[in-house]
Structure 1
C-alpha cells in the first residue's frame, strides 16, 4: 500500500459493541477561527501518554509482554529529556510533526502527529535496547470535517455539523519482540487475538513507517 494512503487505512476499522470514544482524554485548543461569522475550533489535540501503565486486557502472552509494558511505563514517565528534536511531516492534508526523544544520546521514543480534515492521528514509538518495542496509535475520528459547520449541514440536508463530542477515539497497541509483532490490541475488537496473517501485514506497515522516520532523522 502506498505510504501516502497509510493514514487513511486506520479509519476503516469497525466497532465491536459500544463506542470506546471516551477512553482517551483530549484537549481542545484555545485557538479558534472565525469563518463566515461562524466560530469553530481549529485544532483538537490528543494527549501524549504520560506516567501511565499498560494494563493487560486478558492473560494472553502476559509473561512475554511484561518487559515491553515495563519499558513503556518507564519511558513515558521520563520528565527530563536530554534533547527533543522536532521535524515537520507533510503526509496528511493538514500537515504534522515528529518528535525524537533522546536520553543521554540514545533515542528512546518517537512521537508523530498527523492532522487531517476528518481525523487526527497520534503515534508513539517506544524503543528497548535500540529496537522497536511498543507502538501506541491513537486516532481521533471526527464525526464531520472540521470546516463542516451548521451552514454546510443545512446545505447538504445533513443532521450533524462538526461536534468534537460526537467524535470517536480508536486505539491500537502493538507489541514487538526482536523485531517481530508479537501481539496487537484494538479498543474495539473485544480483546480477541488477531490472525497471524493480519499481524504480518501490520508488522510490515508499522516497521516500514518507523524505518522511514529513522531515515528522515539521519538525513538531517
Structure 2
C-alpha cells in the first residue's frame, strides 16, 4: 500500500481495519483483519491540494489518528446488518460523542469492511476495504466439475479494493483510490451511494433497530 505526500507535513494514518477495544456491549472482542492482495493495480498518487481543502484533509487525517489511538471506549453499541452473514455495525463513543462506526459485512461472493470517522459530530471520512472472492465460498471441486469450471474457491485469489473519501459539513472533498484490482478502473460507489449507506447506519442507531437497507 502506498502513502501520500502533500506539500505540507502529513500524519500518516494506518487504519486498514479497526482500532483495538477492550470491551463491547455484547462482550465480543474486536479483532483486526488481514486481506489478500492478489492482482493489485496501484492507483495514481493523490494530487497536491492547496488552500482550505488541503488543510481540511490534514485536519481529518489528524482526527483519524487520534480516534485510532483510543483503546478504552466509553460505549460500544453493536447492530446486526440484515442481508449479510453475521454482518455487524459497531458504534464507538468517547465522551458521549460518536467517533467511529465500524462495519463488517460477509457474503458468499465477498466481504467488506468500512470505517466511518467523525469530526466535531459530522462525518469526516469513509475508509472502505472490499474483498471479492474468485468463486463463491461453496464452490468446491464438485461445483467446479458440474459447471465446467477451472477453479474452486481460493481465498488467496481474492481481489481487493481499498479507497477512502473525505467529507466536511456534508460536502464531499475527495475520493482517494488507494488500491484497485487490475480489472477495475475506478471505485463502484458514488458520493450519493456512500451517503445513502451511511444514512442507513445512522437511522439504525437513532431508532435502535437492526441495519436495514433500501432494497429490503
TM-score tier, shorter chain, comes to 0.5 to 0.7
Deviations 1:145-165 (A, max 9, x none): 000011211221211100011
Alignment TM-score, normalising by the size of structure 2: 0.68
Residue 122 (structure 1) aligned with residue 108 (structure 2): no
Task: Give the aligned length.
Answer: 163
SS at match of 1:134: strand
Give 4+ residue runs of structure 1 displaced > 3 Å after superposition: none
Structure-2 change in CA distance of 1:171 and 1:135 (3 Å): same
Q: Report deviation, 1:189.
A: 8.8
DSSP 3-state at the match of 2:104: strand
8 Å contact 2:114–2:127 — kept in the other structure?
yes
1:144 aligns with 2:135: yes
Alignment correspondent of 1:71 = 63
Q: Does 1:60 align with 2:48?
A: yes
Q: Distance in 1 between matches of 2:135 and 2:181?
A: 24
Give me the CA root mean square deviation.
Answer: 2.7
C-alpha distance in structure 1 between counterparts of 2:157 and 2:89, whole Å: 27
Q: Larger % of helix: which? A: 1
Q: Alignment partner for residue 167 of structure 2, among 172, 176, 198?
A: 176
Which structure has more relative contact order (CA 8 Å, sep 6+)? It is 2
Partner of residue 210, structure 1:
198
Q: Structure 1 CA distance, aligned partners of 2:124 and 2:142?
A: 46
The secondary structure found in structure 2 opposite 1:188 is strand
SS at match of 2:137: coil
Name the counterpart of 2:75: 83
Distance 1:58 1:213 in 2: 29
TM-score normalised over the length of structure 1: 0.67
**Aligned 8 A contact 2:161 2:181 in 1:** no
The aligned residue for residue 101 of structure 1 is 92
Q: Please, which runs of 5 or more residues in structure 2 have no aligned partner?
A: 1-15, 18-30, 35-43, 209-216
Unaligned ranges ≥5, structure 1: 1-23, 26-44, 49-55
SS at structure 2 position matched to 1:68: helix
| CA shift digits 1:56-86 (9 cap, x unpaired) | 9434324331111111111122111111110
